[in-house]
Structure 1
Amino acid sequence: MSRALIVIDAQESFRARAQWSAIANPDIAEPIGRLVGLARAHAVPVYWVLHTEPDSGGTFDPGQGHVRPLAELDGPRPGEPVLYKTSHNAFTTTNLQQRLTAAGVGELWVCGIRTEQCVETTTRVGSDLGYRMVFVTDATTTEPVGGLGAAEIVERTEAVLRDRFARIATVAELAAEREGAAA
């Protein structure tokens, strides 16, 4: 089955917000970078999705200069699409589904910022669209929300997605699978 990696909202807009200090993993670029490297090493196409709020004046307003991948990430490279969304999921306001269909993709690895928001929502919509979803949990991060700590949010997200909308995996598990498949 053909697969692709969707990197969701791993962007400087979050670092520019005051809430960045509360984010569970401020070094999120490291596991995302490992996952991107794994994908590239195994010819898994990488799609970059960035959240925008045009004309808002905030950190997600493209005019403010923060709507770009985290500086530590090696990407995007030539041929890797960069899509700009204005909704929580990566499908509704982009042509991601059309691109994936044209490429014959059936499985999506997802990672990024806001575990319970944009990454989870993309996972749910992707599942509804018929993709086999792999939620790469350690390549996501979030901040506390509504009295819940970040670790609780990640745990809840894994619980509601597992075996219903997605397979939950880590970067190391995917790497081991890829290495096993190559042997």
Structure 2
Amino acid sequence: MADALLIIDMQTGLYAGPDHPFERERVLQTINQLIGRARHAGAPIFVARHTGPAGSAIAAGSPYWQVWHELDVDEARDQFFNKTRPSCFLGTDLAQRLRAMQLNELVIVGMKTQFCIDTTCRVAVELGFSVILPEDGHTCMDTATLSAAAIIEHHNATLAGAFVQRVSAAAISF
């Protein structure tokens, strides 16, 4: 059973930007189901917001920086934090918070697969945390060289084993 849920960069500027993420509605529904299970079990929910410099489209407080309004999280009860790098750990106090709460196993979901999901999974393991990656709980956009579906499939395969326990979201409990 997982200790905590970490949701990465489910923000208006990424979720509803000019290039929509692959299967975004399904991924949002999957994440909201995991939020419901975590809440029911009393597991903490951490919400990362990628934050750009002042004046950028995703500067703190800007409309695009806000968490997508249909994501079932609440700043009053969930643990929000800002990051400026692909890793949720670099320059944040996430590792300290997790250790203080004696949380060891994280479910990691959100966006973008090849950047913040990949980096955070790898760094979490380097820091001694165990990671569960729902193969159907993260997404990205098509690139000039690869479709989003291919990027997701590649990262699910590459991260599985050495870095994460890869499962379907339906198999996860808190």
| Pair 1:50-2:49 in alignment | yes
If the length of structure 1 is used for normalisation, what is the TM-score?
A: 0.88
Is the 8 Å Cα contact of residues 57 and 63 (structure 1) preserved in structure 2?
Answer: no
| Pair 1:141-2:139 in alignment | yes
Is the 8 Å Cα contact of residues 11 and 65 (structure 2) preserved in structure 1?
Answer: yes
CA, structure 1 residues 16+171, in 2 after alignment: closer, same or farther (shift >3 Å)?
closer
Is the 8 Å Cα contact of residues 35 and 139 (structure 1) preserved in structure 2?
Answer: no
Instruction: Summarize deviations over 1:51-97 as a string: whole Å, max 9, x none.
Output: 01022422x12253221221111212533210000000110021000
Residue identity in the other structure for 1:65 = P
Is the 8 Å Cα contact of residues 54 and 63 (structure 1) preserved in structure 2?
Answer: no
Q: Please name the residue that 1:89 is paired with.
A: 87
CA, structure 1 residues 147+96, in 2 after alignment: closer, same or farther (shift >3 Å)?
same
Q: Please name the residue that 1:181 is paired with.
A: none
Which whole-Å CA distance do the structure 1 matches of 2:61 and 2:39 have between them?
31
Instruction: Summarize deviations over 1:9-31 as a string: whole Å, max 9, x none.
Output: 011121342122xx211213211
Is the 8 Å Cα contact of residues 55 and 63 (structure 1) preserved in structure 2?
Answer: no
Which whole-Å CA distance do the structure 2 matches of 1:148 and 1:125 have between them?
24
Per the TM alignment, residue 104 of structure 1 is displaced from its structure 2 partner at its CA by 0.3
Is the 8 Å Cα contact of residues 3 and 43 (structure 2) preserved in structure 1?
Answer: yes
Task: Name which of structure 1's ranges 149-158 and 60-69 shifts more when overlaid on structure 2.
Answer: 60-69
Q: Please name the residue that 1:156 is paired with.
A: 154
Is the 8 Å Cα contact of residues 2 and 172 (structure 2) preserved in structure 1?
Answer: no
Which whole-Å CA distance do the structure 2 matches of 1:63 and 1:46 have between them?
21
Which whole-Å CA distance do the structure 2 matches of 1:63 and 1:132 have between them?
32
Is the 8 Å Cα contact of residues 134 and 169 (structure 1) preserved in structure 2?
Answer: yes
SS of the residue 1:135 aligns to: strand
Which whole-Å CA distance do the structure 2 matches of 1:146 and 1:138 have between them?
23
- Count of residues in correspondence between the two structures: 173
Q: Please name the residue that 2:14 is paired with.
A: 14
Unaligned runs of 5+ in 1: 179-183
Identity %: 29
Is the 8 Å Cα contact of residues 29 and 70 (structure 1) preserved in structure 2?
Answer: no
